[in-house]
């Protein structure tokens, strides 16, 4: 059934050559498996290695309740209830920029050197480096059908995780880079780029709308409000709210004006955690009022957030991983930060 669906989508996309906004897109269609049976040894790229850089760039919960930590040095899985390091995957040659879990539990890594897939049972890399618009991966997202969207600094790619097929690539994405992604209530994809937002129909691979001229222009963080379906976009100069039905900015969040917003995550109570390059705040999305500010972090640079995970808020910073407990105290995760 799934193979039939993949062939059908590939056929539809291949028959429509347009790439302009409002038309289907296809720059490259791969119909042969791109994954090797065994992963080749990674290529060392000295110019991208970061030495003792401790930044934690991505956090991803999995179906077992674990929390995966992607950093500029390694990949690890912890028990978020106890903080115990359950597994580590040594990736000294890779700078991890994004994480995603597919529908069968495999962990996908976006790196500055390409795309990797890790089997959580063996904690080994089982596939890597599909043909992408660029090997510099910035964001990952699994849509409702189970397909993997890959945002790079040179466009988007759509991958079938099960069959190992590169479905299509889009190098003419308005704004070029796929910095961040989220799904709206209809299951459509919103992509944050260098020049605003683009909405894409995940079934037909058709761009549906574009929101440009945002304050700060570049979108570097996205989140969908679970209660009203609005799209929240973080830019270098603040936080804006987009009405997905109207396809335009509905308001600018005054409390976040002139802040470089780098991470966004909604909590279970409906509040929004906003990470910036100079601190972490929790705001009320109704009016934008600041509810809380988190002091004493290892670094004021915030790259990733995972609220309500093991009864904690987990925070990826420029100087390692930290967590905030129910008592409000912030503690560094020494088990990872000291390695």
pLDDT tens per residue across span 273-291: 999 999 999 999 999 999 9
Instruction: Supply the pLDDT for residue 171.
Output: 85
User: 234 with 195: CB under 8 angstroms?
Assistant: no
Q: Name, in order, each residue with C-beta under 8 angstroms of 145's C-beta and a sequence gap of 6 or more.
A: 5, 202, 203
- Left, alpha or beta for 205 (phi > 0: left; psi -120 to 50: alpha)? left
Computed over every residue of the chain, the mean pLDDT equals: 84
Taking the model in full, what pTM does it have?
0.84
Q: Round to whole Å and give the CA distance between 28 and 14.
A: 9
Q: Name, in order, each residue with C-beta under 8 angstroms of 230's C-beta and a sequence gap of 6 or more.
A: 224, 241, 242, 243, 244, 250
Asked if the structure places residue 43 within a domain, the reply is: no
Q: Which residues pair with 331 in a beta bridge?
A: 323
Higher-confidence position of 185 and 42: 185
Residue 25 has pLDDT above 50, yes or no: no
Instruction: Supply the pLDDT for residue 48.
Output: 32
pLDDT one-digit tens code per residue, 36-66: 333 333 332 323 333 457 899 999 999 999 9
- The number of folded domains in the chain is 1
Asked if the structure places residue 91 within a domain, the reply is: yes
Instruction: Supply the pLDDT for residue 206.
Output: 80
Sign of the torsion formed by the C-alpha atoms of 160, 166, 167 and 168: positive
Asked if the structure places residue 252 within a domain, the reply is: no
Taking CA atoms, 270 is separated from 56, 59, 197, 267, 273, in Å, by 25, 20, 23, 5, 10
- What confidence category does residue 33 fall into, taking pLDDT thresholds of 50, 70 and 90? very low
What are the strands of the beta sheet with 248-252, ordered from one edge? 221-224, 231-235, 238-243, 248-252
User: 256 with 274: CB under 8 angstroms?
Assistant: yes
pLDDT one-digit tens code per residue, 219-250: 999 999 999 999 999 999 999 999 999 999 99
Residue 178 has pLDDT above 70, yes or no: yes
Instruction: Supply the pLDDT for residue 338.
Output: 54
Asked if the structure places residue 236 within a domain, the reply is: no
| Number of C-beta neighbours around residue 122 at 10 A | 10
Residue 11 has pLDDT above 80, yes or no: no
Asked if the structure places residue 25 within a domain, the reply is: yes
Asked if the structure places residue 254 within a domain, the reply is: no
Continuous segment of H or E residues that includes residue 150: strand 148-152
- Could you give the percent of the chain with pLDDT greater than 70? 83
Instruction: Supply the pLDDT for residue 213.
Output: 84
Instruction: Supply the pLDDT for residue 164.
Output: 63
- What confidence category does residue 190 fall into, taking pLDDT thresholds of 50, 70 and 90? very high
What is the average per-residue pLDDT within 90-115? 92
Asked if the structure places residue 180 within a domain, the reply is: no
Taking CA atoms, 6 is separated from 16, 48, 150, 205, 256, in Å, by 16, 35, 17, 13, 42
Q: What is the CA radius of gyration of the chain?
A: 19
What does the CA dihedral 252, 253, 254, 255 come to, rounded to 10 degrees?
-160
Domain that holds residue 20: 1-29+48-172
Instruction: Supply the pLDDT for residue 335.
Output: 67
Asked if the structure places residue 2 within a domain, the reply is: yes
Both tokens of residue 168? 């299509």
What does the CA dihedral 162, 106, 113, 96 come to, rounded to 10 degrees?
150
pLDDT one-digit tens code per residue, 161-175: 876 677 888 888 889
Phi, psi of 78 (to 5 degrees): -125, 160
Q: Which residue has the tokens 């490259």?
A: 28
Instruction: Supply the pLDDT for residue 53.
Output: 76
Q: Round to whole Å and give the CA distance between 84 and 156.
A: 36
Both tokens of residue 41? 């040894």
Residue 126 has pLDDT above 70, yes or no: yes
CATH number where 59 lies: 2.130.10.10
Instruction: Supply the pLDDT for residue 161.
Output: 85
């Amino acid at each position: 059934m799934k193979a039939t669906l993949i062939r059908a989508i590939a056929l539809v996309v291949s028959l429509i050559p347009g790439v302009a906004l409002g038309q289907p897109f296809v720059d490259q269609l791969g119909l042969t498996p791109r994954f090797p049976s065994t992963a080749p040894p990674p290529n060392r790229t000295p110019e991208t290695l970061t030495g003792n850089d401790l930044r934690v760039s991505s956090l991803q919960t999995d179906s077992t309740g674990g929390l995966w930590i992607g950093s500029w040095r390694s990949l690890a899985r912890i028990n978020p209830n106890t903080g115990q390091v359950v597994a580590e995957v040594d990736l000294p040659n890779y700078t991890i920029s994004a994480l995603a879990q597919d529908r069968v539990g495999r962990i996908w890594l976006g790196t500055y050197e390409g795309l990797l897939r890790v089997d959580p049972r063996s904690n080994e890399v089982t596939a890597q480096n599909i043909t992408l618009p660029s090997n510099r991966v910035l964001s990952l997202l699994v849509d409702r059908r189970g397909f993997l969207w890959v945002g790079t600094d040179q466009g988007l790619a759509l991958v079938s995780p099960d069959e190992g097929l590169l479905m299509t690539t889009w190098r003419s994405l308005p704004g070029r880079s796929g910095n961040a992604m989220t799904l709206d209530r209809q299951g459509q994809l919103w992509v944050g780029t260098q020049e605003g937002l683009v909405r894409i129909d995940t079934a037909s691979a058709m761009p549906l709308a574009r929101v440009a001229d945002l304050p700060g222009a570049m979108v570097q963080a996205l989140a969908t409000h679970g209660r009203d379906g609005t799209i929240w976009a973080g830019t270098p100069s603040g936080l804006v709210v987009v009405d997905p039905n109207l396809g335009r900015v509905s308001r600018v969040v005054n409390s976040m004006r002139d802040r470089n917003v780098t991470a966004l995550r909604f909590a279970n109570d409906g509040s929004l955690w906003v990470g910036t390059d100079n601190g972490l705040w929790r705001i009320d999305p109704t009016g934008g009022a600041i509810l809380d500010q988190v002091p004493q972090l290892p670094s004021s640079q915030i790259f990733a957030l995972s609220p309500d995970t093991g009864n904690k808020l987990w925070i990826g910073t420029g100087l390692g991983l930290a967590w905030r407990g129910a008592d409000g105290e912030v503690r560094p995760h020494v088990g990872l930060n000291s390695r």
